[in-house]
Amino acid sequence: MANECNMLPRGSGPHTVGCTDIMTTGGQEGTFMRVYYPCTTNGSKMYPPTSLMPRHEYTAGLVSFLRRSQWLFPHLINRWFGRMKASVYWNAHLNGKEAYPLLIFSHGLGGFRSLYSTVCIDMASQGFVVGAVEHRDESASATYSIDDDGQEKWISFRHLQQGEKEFPLRNKQVEIRAEECIRALHLFEDFQNGCPVENLLPVDFKFTSFQGCIDLKRVAIMGHSFGGATAILAAHKEADFRCAIVLDGWMVPLHEDLLPVVKKPLFFINSETFHWPVNVAAMLVLLSNQPANRMITLLGTGHLNQSDCPFAVSGYLGRLLGTRGPLDPKEAMRINNCASLAFLHKHLELVPGFEQWDELVEGKGEHVMKGSPVKPFVDGSSS
């Protein structure tokens, strides 16, 4: 067992959490995701490497995404991220005593399926099945597909070229990402209906065990940064997504014509330091679309507080490198997840209990404020 100081926070809910991976056929048109779920522990084993670095190729990809030295930074990445462990049971049996609501998760730019384990584990511990999609649109720092001959095809992060405008590339990617999230939802529909699904990965988990155990009437989507924009678009496109939670959303990829027409309930949970006027202005357009929409800011937090990064690079070094703000990362994550559960409780009609955090959704409480401290307009015009 890992030293506790190298462990990601345990889930706060009553359920023990299991974890497995799936990659379906179809190459990049298939689905690749990590699945977190309430489990039983009989005959299961802890799987320590399930946190930030699934394989060594992800280390090189993350270094390339950060545009850092391939000589020094792989050692630092492995020291910071590779040592972290997660309190989950790998390939554990699903606790099939009830039908669980479903949450699809979309990672941010340069992320991958395991970089938000803390959020996903906590949601699963509270009774959700969570599908953390690994996007293969060249926005992950590294990912791969497996062809018909069993050969791996690695997909590198796509940097902007010199002189290239950002919106056309990111808008194309967000469309792909939204479709990947919708395909993930449809895959869970197959699980629920008992349809056989081939997994190209060598994992010993029977996805047929999900049959009858997913509540497809209670489905939501959540994403961080680029994943926040992805969640908005996917919720707009797919009727079965009843609401979306946008963690520090990056609005650049979304076409301005989309903003006024998104009618699904949205919850923006922002960090204090990430946003700028144009980004907030786009959020306010979405916020005005219906009364159920909400926006709060977590005070004392930075952009990476909603990922696993502040637990891997902590203390003063974490603040220096921008993986966290001055607020304690565990407290920031607790507020983030409690507010999310309260919003999901309302819009998915969950069992009583999560409404105890309703005030957080309204921006009331310590370390939280309603709206954003960033003004969306300067001198009467956007900037």
- Residue closest to 361 by CA, chosen among 251, 261, 243, 275: 243
Q: How many helices (H) and strands (E) in the chain?
A: 10, 15
Cβ(160)–Cβ(172) below 8 Å: no
- Residue closest to 335 by CA, chosen among 102, 37, 8, 12: 12
For 186-226, the three-class secondary structure string (H helix, E strand, C coil) is HHHHHHHCCCCCCCCCCCCCCHHHHCCCEEEEEEEEEEECH
CA angle 71–76–79, rounded 5-degree value: 135
Active site annotation includes 367: no
Active site annotation includes 303: yes
Distance of CA 62 to the CA centre of its chain: 17
Distance of CA 203 to the CA centre of its chain: 22
107, 303, 345, 347: the catalytic one is 303
- Other C-beta atoms closer than 10 Å to the C-beta of 252 total 16
Active site annotation includes 248: yes
114, 225, 340, 372: the catalytic one is 225
In 3-state terms the chain splits into helix, strand, coil percentages (rounded to 5) of 35, 20, 45
Q: What whole-number distance in Å separates Cα of residue 112 and Cα of residue 52?
A: 9
For residue 2, what are the contacts with CB-CB under 8 A and spacing of at least 6? 48, 83, 85
Q: What whole-number distance in Å separates Cα of residue 236 and Cα of residue 383?
A: 27
CA angle 6–10–16, rounded 5-degree value: 130
Counting beta carbons within 10 angstroms of the beta carbon of residue 209, is it exposed (0 to 12), middle (13 to 18) or buried (19 or more)?
A: middle
21, 122, 137, 248: the catalytic one is 248
**Which residues have a catalytic role annotated?**
225, 248, 303
